[in-house]
Amino acid sequence: MKRSFARSKLLAAVVLVVGGTHASAQDLSIRQDSMGNSAGRHVLPPRDLPPLPEMPSGFIDNDLAAADSSPHAIASYTLDELLCLAAANNPTIRQARLQIGGETAKALQAGLYPNPVLMYVGEKINSDGTAGEFQGFEVQQRFVTAHKLQLSRLKYCQRARVSEHLAVAQQFRVSNDIQRHFYQVLAAMERVNLQSELLKTAEDGSVTSRELYNQGQTNLPGIHRANVELQQRRLALLNAQNEFAEAFRQLTSIVGCTLPMGRVEGSLRPDETIPSFETVYAGLIQDSPEVLAARAKLVADQTTLQRESVQWVPDIVVTGGPGYNFTNNDPVYNAAVQMELPIYDRNQGTILQARRDLQRQQAEIHRVELQLRERLAMAYRMYATALQHATEYERVIIPEREVAYRELLEGYRDNRVDWPDVLHAQGEYFAARLQQVDQFRDVRIQEVMIDGFLLEGGLMAAKGPTPPGHIDAVAKPR
């Protein structure tokens, strides 16, 4: 700096010389003045303080930047709006409805009575040189016994009921995911605000370190350290903004249609607490769509067993029709009655399979119940911990941090505290509020999960009513 200053001074002198004899001493002094070197006044050289780091600029999320640049035109959404949009647009809800339709169609098909068979019959053609002993039409009709068709239809109707429960579950999956992401967005917004506050504190810290430097109370490493803290805070703010973008984009993915990036309106603070673990669990056992589906499936499986148990009862196939006997030249009739003799195949294997499948389903109900308990245990723990933290942060920790911050501010006003102490308390206060946001967010998310039968996966393909092991291995569903 000193050297370049000297150089420009030299340059000014050269200009004066080149300018010729008209340049007076007064001109010289004016030129020197413009460089801050007024006569008789000692000017200190600028000090080599490291500059503040530049704003992070390597990568920018353009949508965020656009939303940032037009804060007034920013869209805003409520939870109810988003749930309505999801009901209309989330594809898995339609999938679930179509699953029910599919099962109902199977029920229709399974109960249809078998068609008669029309045959033209020519027998013993060329007997005595005639066209045959019998030429004519026969009709064959299978007579289904033992209510097989009714049972098959009933079975698929019952599977359609399973699909209905699964569709309800899918609605919960979507609604839960919408709510969870809604609270994620809400929390992300508050996190962005608080990270902005923390950034302001870091900016202040950086200015403060320069002030301390000017009084010999910190050194260059102190300035560098403050620069690092400033840049880390800027990155933390960017991180919060990116988290907001992620949360918003995930939210709109579940909704099922693209929405312009915007705010959500709501409160992170829960209105009431959930009941005890056992009460919640009892409710789950009674009303969870997963349990209801498993129970409905058990009913369907009982019908399957019933259906397979009558499979061996022979249908009666009656065949008959009029014809003409060209040997005797007289009209004749044919008639036949057909029946399978269940000597070897009494469907005993499939019956056994159906029985096993029924037993498997009984275990499946128990499994679903236990799995719910397992999932509830975790959700309940997370809920309890988050709520305990959020409550105590709300009741004690944040107010205490706030009071400490205020008292230090007042102490500073009374010249009894150093400003870095105030900044420290300010940082602790904002950081505690940041932690509280996360705690409330976790409370809300677990609340949604517990109220919503622990269902998640609003973009998972809707499940069908038949798990592996089903018996549908014939062209005609039975």
Partner 1 sequence: MSQPERRRHFLKAGSIAAAAGLVGNWMRSDAAAQAPARTSHPPVRDEYDGFSRFKPSRGNDPDSDYYLGKMIPGFRSTADGPAPLEAPDLERLPWKMVRGAKEFHLVPMAVEREFLPGYKMNVYGFNGSMPGPTIEVTQGDRVRIVVTNELPEQTTTHWHGFELPVQYDGSETLTQNPIEPGASFVYEFDVHEEGTYFYHSHVPMQEAFGSVGWFIVHPKKVFDPPVDRDFGLIFQNFFIDSNQNIADSWQMDWNWHTINGRSGPYTTPLVVKHGERVRVRIMDFSPMQHHPVHLHGHTFWVTGHEGARIPKSAWVPRNTELIGIAQATDFEFIANNPGDWMFHCHMVHHMMNHMTRQVGPRIRQDSSVDSYLANLASRPAVDAVRTDPGFATPGYPQEMKSMKMPEAMMKTIWNRREVQGMRATWPMSVMGLMTTLRVLPDDLYHRVMETDAEIPPGSIFEEIVNRFGNPADYQPAKMGGMPGMKM
Which spans of this chain sit near partner 1 (rule: CB under 8 A)? 44, 46-47, 52, 197, 200-201, 203-204, 206-208, 210-212, 214-217, 402, 405-423, 426, 429
329: left (phi over 0), alpha (psi -120 to 50) or beta: left
Exposed e or buried b per residue across 413-435, where buried means at least 16 C-beta atoms within 10 angstroms of its C-beta: eeeebebbebbbbbbebbebbbb
Question: Going by DSSP bridges, is the β-strand pair 330-339/316-325 parallel, antiparallel, or unpaired?
Answer: antiparallel
Closest to partner 1 by CB, 7 or 47: 47
Closest to partner 1 by CB, 251 or 408: 408
Tokens read off for 66: 């656009």
How many CB atoms within 10 Å of residue 383?
Answer: 24
The least distance separating partner 1 from the CB of residue 204, rounded to whole angstroms, comes to 5
Closest to partner 1 by CB, 194 or 305: 194
Burial class (CB in 10 A: 0-12, 13-18, 19+), 302: middle
Burial class (CB in 10 A: 0-12, 13-18, 19+), 283: middle
Closest to partner 1 by CB, 187 or 351: 187
The least distance separating partner 1 from the CB of residue 416, rounded to whole angstroms, comes to 4
Closest to partner 1 by CB, 263 or 373: 263
Tokens read off for 47: 């000090």
Closest to partner 1 by CB, 53 or 464: 53
The least distance separating partner 1 from the CB of residue 406, rounded to whole angstroms, comes to 6
The least distance separating partner 1 from the CB of residue 438, rounded to whole angstroms, comes to 18
Give CA separation, 448 vs 379, 393, 440, 465, in Å.
10, 21, 12, 26
The least distance separating partner 1 from the CB of residue 402, rounded to whole angstroms, comes to 6
The least distance separating partner 1 from the CB of residue 466, rounded to whole angstroms, comes to 56
Estimate the crossing angle of helix 289-309 against helix 348-392, to 10 degrees: 180
Closest to partner 1 by CB, 33 or 407: 407
Tokens 């294997």 belong to residue: 349
13 three-state secondary structure: helix
Closest to partner 1 by CB, 7 or 200: 200
Amino acid at residue number 25: A
The least distance separating partner 1 from the CB of residue 409, rounded to whole angstroms, comes to 5
Closest to partner 1 by CB, 210 or 470: 210
The least distance separating partner 1 from the CB of residue 467, rounded to whole angstroms, comes to 54
Q: Which of 422, 41, 49 is nearest to 214 (CA)?
A: 49
The least distance separating partner 1 from the CB of residue 193, rounded to whole angstroms, comes to 8
Measure the CA–CA gap between 457 and 178, rounded to whole angstroms: 10
Measure the CA–CA gap between 161 and 169, rounded to whole angstroms: 13
